[in-house]
Structure 1
């Protein structure tokens, strides 16, 4: 990006001398002009001499030369600035998303899953220098996308997360956590983080969440756990109609907060409770602040000085003034 600047803009105050020089020139010229009083000019041949009329041109040339010198002294130049971002070993993050049927509950708007996807997408966009992966889990778990720095892929994967009947039903928190750990165990990042989200209790899968959290500790992985859902009752799916659509009814929100707190504490993370979309957004902002990536910004500036043409212009004007003074205006100056 190119910018134009003056290194010494304060020197423009010298331009105020130009009006004073004009006043001085007019006053001096009036004093230097000789006057002869005679009773009549009859008998004298009169005529108009154009050289006398354009004589002030010499002073104008000198003023223009002085103005060019002042502007040159202010050192005009263009600055071409380029920036390069250099990151040290950043942060590798895996977002583990519960996609069980209860995630369609409507206590978060429009439902828990869609609210989660929207907020997580903003979080991903705020982490341009980190690698991010996505894991889905319900009664079993699998990797939606491995760790990648290509945010387009991650955002597309997050957008494509939907409830489906392909994954076995239930909530296998241990399976989801273990799969996320597996994605991070060989990472060489300076910090490895899992964001585990669920709205229920561990009731499926063959891996105990506590064992999965011990694996996370072994590989130096920090786990932030988020419990999704209001406290009390929520409008949740309670059955499927013949046409395949869900029938909704009020159900008690049961989140195993003790388990989520224990996982976070053991792995040096934190537990959060998201009772609304606004609260969920605040939680992600908090995690974003807690997990900072060291970024070194290198700026390169290329300067192109523009004062030289002004100096040459001033010299040319002074040269022209000198030439006219001692040639064309020699007998008049």
Structure 2
């Protein structure tokens, strides 16, 4: 699809009807002048070498050159991002444990940080594969469906924390099921799951699910992160160690046995995390040996410009017009130097614009190279060079938003995405900018604003499943927050009301209780009643002892 980058320059085409009017006025003036000079036949004989047809041709050449120059300034271009790119690859679902046990520091700085680092490097190596992300703790959630947009995958990965899953625990079976539902169930190969966890769930169902998925052609690789000796969990909010219900410090230990079993049942490999590069290299080698199929994806925003062709056409038409004479068999015209000067003047004004556009592309390219190397400060600097000079450059604004988000400058990133969306004319590209804006706002807990961004993105591209899923998740988060706020507001009132009702009942009971005369009891009756009470207490203790022996208490896991 072809689009003009600077539509404002197309307003110059409005001058063409004015030029046409001037042309016809000149023709009318010539006819009147001929009549004024004298005998019309004699005058025509004197100017018989003049060619009205050539005069018309010269006008058409000049007008066409002018229009071509306007098109060159507007810069016609086609987005390479909309081109289909075919590549051989597989589908990889990443199942990342984000339970609080992953905050243990037996792997520095934390298990979760190291897991995200390893997965980030692995994503860089899976250039031809589609990637999806599932995060899990007490429940499993699809964080990102399968996509070839690896930049978005790393963005989602960086935002994965225990806060994204409200229920704590470790449900590996549910995470595997969620991964399986994300694949194309009609295919019996080209699918792999990478599970990275400390394995603290002791769930026999996980091995059964792994076996079922292996029968469907899914290869499951597992990474154990942590230590068998275990480590305490540091609460990020209080910076204190987590304790169980009995006040004992919780020690979370790596459950290698379960992760090995899952990998074995899933026809994959198990690795104990020790070094990021080693883990990534082994996984990359294992995935590279899998059967691959052709994957068709849209590559992201890049443009091919065609302004130079219009500029060349404009210059060529002006040269031709200069060589075409209004007279038949005329001598070399004396006006050639003047027209050459005009030609050079036009080229002087148009070529700097073309050179500027080329310079901006080169700067953006440098920024893209820095971004790929994770040099986000340098990338931001390059993109800002372009946006400072040309704020309407949507590509630079879009890429600047990505770089700023990587530098945790969320407000500035949102502003850059807004600028990109304002200057983008293609609906699909504008939808992507608004979607990224929504992601930044959602990760920054600005839920109402992110809902608005997702809705705007869906209006432009109703087929965007990622935006739809994130919108549903944001709406659910808003609902949960509202319920929590209402509960917090209602609780003090309910407690106060209960206290008042209880006090009222006690007062009424005291007022209504009749005065009774205490009955007299003999010593013998008192001893018999005491024996009966002791026997009842003994029977009750025997029953409790039997229950405790048969059903020992199992502490609830919330990490």
TM-score of the aligned structures, taking structure 1 as reference length: 0.55
Shift of the alpha carbon at 1:252? Answer: 4.0
Distance (Å, rounded) in 2 between the aligned partners of 1:295 and 1:218: 19
Distance 1:85 1:183, change over 3 A: closer
State the distance in 2 between where 1:95 and 1:123 align: 10
1:278-293 counterparts in 2 under 5 A?
278=275, 280-292=276-288
1:1-80 matches, cutoff 5 A: none
Q: Distance in 1 between matches of 2:277 and 2:104?
A: 18
**Contact 1:103–1:199 (CA<8 Å) still a contact in 2?**
yes
**How far, CA to CA, are the matches of 2:169 and 2:93 in structure 1?**
21
Provide Cα deviations, 1:73-95, integer angstroms capped at 9, x if missing partner: xxxxxxxxxxx98533x211011
Superposition pairs of residues 228-307 of structure 1, within 5 angstroms: 228-237=225-234, 244-248=237-241, 252-274=251-273, 276=274, 278=275, 280-292=276-288
Q: Would you say the 8 A contact 1:99–1:138 is kept in 2? A: yes
The 1:218/1:185 distance shift into structure 2, 3 A limit, reads farther
Instruction: Say if 1:173 and 1:202, in contact at 8 Å, map to a contact too.
Output: yes
2:53 matched residue in structure 1: none
Deviation at 1:193, TM superposition (A): 0.6
Q: In 2, Cα distance between the equivalents of 1:190 and 1:178?
A: 17
Does the residue aligned with 1:171 lie in a helix, a strand or coil?
A: coil
Closer/same/farther in 2, CA of residues 86 and 190 from structure 1, 3 Å limit: farther
* Alignment of structure 1 residues 150-229 onto 2, 5 Å: 150-164=149-163, 166-186=165-185, 188=187, 190-202=189-201, 208-229=205-226
Asked if structure 1 preserves the Cα contact closer than 8 Å seen for 2:190 and 2:293, the reply is: no
- Secondary structure of the residue aligned to 2:241 is strand
Runs of 4+ in structure 1 over 3 Å off: 187-190, 249-253, 293-296
The answer to whether the Cα contact below 8 Å between 2:233 and 2:241 also exists between their aligned partners in 1 is yes
Between the two structures, name the one with larger relative contact order (CA 8 Å, sep ≥ 6): 1
Unaligned stretches of 5+ residues in structure 1: 1-83, 297-333
**Partners of 1:189 and 1:220 in 2: CA distance:** 5
CA distance in 2, matches of 1:128, 1:106: 31
- Partner of 1:97, secondary structure, is strand
The change in CA–CA distance for 1:232 and 1:190 in structure 2 (over 3 A counts) is same
* CA positional deviation for 1:281: 3.4
Report the secondary structure of 1:108's partner residue: coil
User: 1:121-158 deviations in whole A, cap 9, x for unaligned?
Assistant: 11101111000000000011010000101111111110
Alpha-carbon separation, structure 1, partners of 2:106 and 2:293? 38
| Equivalences for residues 88-103 of structure 1 within 5 A | 88=88, 90-103=89-102
C-alpha displacement at 1:203, in angstroms? 5.4
Instruction: Give the Cα separation in 2 of the matches to 1:161 and 1:114.
Output: 10
What corresponds to 2:398 in structure 1? none
Q: Tell me which residue corresponds to 1:38.
A: none
Q: TM-score, normalised by structure 2?
A: 0.34
Q: Is contact 1:132–1:146 with CA below 8 Å preserved after alignment?
A: yes
| Deviations 1:281-323, CA, capped at 9 Å, x for gaps | 3112101011117699xxxxxxxxxxxxxxxxxxxxxxxxxxx
- CA drift at 1:168: 0.6
The secondary structure found in structure 1 opposite 2:194 is strand
SS at 1:155's partner residue?
A: helix
* Cα RMSD after superposing both structures: 2.8
Q: Offset of 1:179 from its aligned partner?
A: 0.9
The match for 1:136 is: 135
- Is the partner of 2:181 in helix, strand or coil? helix
Greater strand fraction, Structure 1 or Structure 2: 1
Q: Alignment partner of 1:231: what SS?
A: coil
Partners of 2:116 and 2:156 in 1: CA distance: 10
From the superposition, tell whether residues 165 and 94 of structure 1 become closer, same or farther in structure 2 (CA, over 3 Å).
closer
Contact 1:233 1:251 in 2 (8 A): no
| 2:228/2:254 contact within 8 Å kept | no
- Please give the secondary structure, in 2, of the residue aligned with 1:247: coil
Match of residue 87 from structure 1? 87
Query: What per-residue deviation string (whole Å, max 9, x for no partner) do you get for residues 76-118 of structure 1?
Result: xxxxxxxx98533x21101100000011111222211111111
* Structure 1 residues 163 and 187: alpha-carbon distance in aligned structure 2, compared to 1, 3 A threshold: farther
8 Å contact from structure 2 (residues 183, 191) kept in 1: yes
CA distance in 1 between counterparts of 2:108 and 2:254 reads: 19
